C-alpha cells in the first residue's frame, strides 16, 4: 500500500469532507501553486490507484476508507458522471434489467451517445459506447438512484429491444 503525502491527505480529506468523490481539476486547484503541481499530483494518484480518470476533465476519488484500494460505485452513477449528465442514455441489457424484463445480471453497461464510441473498463465494470443520432436521445427518461439522476432507455423501447433478442 502506498503512503500518502501531507498534500495528498489534505486534498483527499477535503474532497471526502465535501463528499465530492467525482471531481474536476477546478475542485482541487486551490491546494496547488501551479498547474504543473496539480498535474503531477493527479498523475501520481492515478498511478497509485487512488484516483480514476472518467473523462477528459472528471475523476473519481477512491475513498481513504477503501483500505485495500478497491472500490466501486453504482454503474449508472458512473455512466452519468462520465457523460457529464448530457447527450446519452443507458440501454441494452442494463436497461432490460433496470425495468425488470430479465433477472440476468448484465456483464456490461451500454451507453448510447452522440459523442463517442468504443469500450472502457472503469472500477471493475465494462462500459461500451454506441454512437447514435441526436433524435435517438429522445427515447431516454430520467430516473434516480441513490439521489443521483441518470438517463435510461424508456420502458417501452427497452421492452421492444428485449423482445427482439
Domain map (residue ranges) of the chain: 6-61, 75-163
Tens digits of per-residue pLDDT, 70-97?
Answer: 666 789 998 999 998 889 999 999 999 9
3-class secondary structure, 7: helix
Dihedral sign for Cα atoms in the order 84, 13, 63, 98: negative
CA gap 142, 90 in Å, rounded: 10
Check if the beta carbon of residue 117 is closer than 8 Å to that of residue 108: no
Provide the grid cell at 161.
429491444
Chain centroid, CA 159 distance in Å:
25
- How does pLDDT run across 45-67, given as a tens digit for each residue? 888 888 889 888 899 988 766 65
Q: Coil, helix or strand for 103?
A: coil
**Average pLDDT across the chain, whole number:** 88
What are the pLDDT digits (tens) for 142-161? 999 888 899 999 999 999 99
CATH of domain 6-61: 1.10.10
Query: How many angstroms separate the CA atoms of 23 and 37, rounded?
Result: 17
Is residue 126 over pLDDT 90? yes
Instruction: Give yes or no for residue 8 having a pLDDT over 70.
Output: yes
Amino acid at each position: 500500500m502506498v503512503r500518502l503525502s501531507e498534500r495528498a491527505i489534505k486534498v483527499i480529506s477535503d474532497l471526502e469532507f465535501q463528499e465530492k468523490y467525482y471531481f474536476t481539476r477546478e475542485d482541487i486547484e486551490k491546494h496547488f501553486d501551479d498547474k504543473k503541481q496539480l498535474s503531477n499530483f493527479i498523475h501520481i494518484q492515478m498511478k497509485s490507484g487512488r484516483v480514476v480518470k472518467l473523462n477528459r476533465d472528471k475523476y473519481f476519488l477512491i475513498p481513504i476508507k477503501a483500505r485495500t484500494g478497491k472500490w466501486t460505485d453504482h454503474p449508472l452513477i458512473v455512466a452519468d458522471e462520465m457523460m457529464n449528465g448530457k447527450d446519452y442514455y443507458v440501454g441494452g441489457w442494463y436497461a432490460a434489467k433496470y425495468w425488470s424484463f430479465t433477472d440476468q445480471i448484465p456483464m456490461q453497461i451500454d451507453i448510447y451517445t452522440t459523442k463517442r464510441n468504443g469500450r472502457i473498463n472503469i472500477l471493475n465494470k465494462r462500459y461500451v459506447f454506441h454512437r447514435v443520432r441526436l433524435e435517438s436521445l429522445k427515447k431516454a427518461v430520467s430516473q434516480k438512484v441513490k439521489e443521483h439522476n441518470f438517463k435510461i432507455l424508456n420502458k417501452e423501447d427497452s421492452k421492444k429491444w428485449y423482445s427482439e433478442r
